[in-house]
């Protein structure tokens, strides 16, 4: 079974997300909206399929990474999230909450061996992003 298919996003805490976004735009050309920047790319084996990798500075006080105390969180793109979560349960991986579904895909969260929260994302329709 194929598990992780790529990086869906990098999320990190910032003392001043707007200042960080402005600095990255000025110095590295990363133009942001309120969520950050969506790097668009295409699948090598399916060039008609547009995909994104999200880059997002977040407020220092965010509780989105809880229960982790880490300064960052990585979102991994996956296939068949339901099966993966079942396999992770069998492997006694700590799962945070339940799978959540949105217009753009399904999400689940786990804790890695270092106590970092990891986000798993099964994109629903990659061309709408």
Q: Give helix then strand counts, H and E, for the chain.
A: 2, 7
Hey, what CATH topology would domain 4-128 get? Answer: 2,3-Dihydroxybiphenyl 1,2-Dioxygenase; domain 1 (3.10.180)
| pLDDT (tens digit per residue) in 20-41 | 999 999 999 999 999 999 999 9
Q: Where are the domains of the chain?
A: 4-128
Contacts of 93 (CB under 8 A, 6+ apart): 110, 111
Torsion sign (Cα): 60, 65, 70, 71: negative
Q: How far is CA 44 from the centre of its chain?
A: 21
| pLDDT (tens digit per residue) in 49-77 | 888 999 999 999 999 999 999 999 999 99
| pLDDT (tens digit per residue) in 78-109 | 999 999 999 999 999 999 999 999 999 999 99
pTM of the model: 0.87
- Show the tokens assigned to 55: 């880059």
Q: What percent of the chain has pLDDT over 90?
A: 81
Alpha-carbon torsion, ordered 29, 45, 128, 26, to 10 deg: 0
Confidence of residue 126 (pLDDT cuts 50, 70, 90): low
Residue 23, CB-side half-sphere exposure with 13 Å CA sphere: 8
Q: Alpha-carbon distance 128 to 120, whole Å? A: 19
């Amino acid at each position: 079974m194929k598990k992780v298919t790529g990086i869906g996003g990098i999320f990190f805490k910032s003392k001043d997300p707007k200042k960080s976004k402005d600095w990255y735009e000025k110095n590295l050309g990363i133009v942001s909206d309120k969520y950050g920047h969506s790097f668009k790319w295409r699948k090598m084996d399916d060039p008609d399929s547009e995909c994104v990798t999200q880059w997002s500075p977040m407020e220092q006080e965010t509780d989105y990474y809880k229960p982790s105390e880490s300064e960052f969180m990585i979102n991994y793109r996956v296939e068949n999230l339901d099966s993966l979560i079942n396999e992770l349960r069998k492997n006694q991986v700590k799962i945070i909450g339940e799978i959540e579904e949105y217009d753009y895909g399904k999400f689940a969260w786990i804790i890695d061996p270092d106590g970092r929260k990891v986000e798993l994302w099964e994109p629903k329709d990659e061309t709408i992003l």
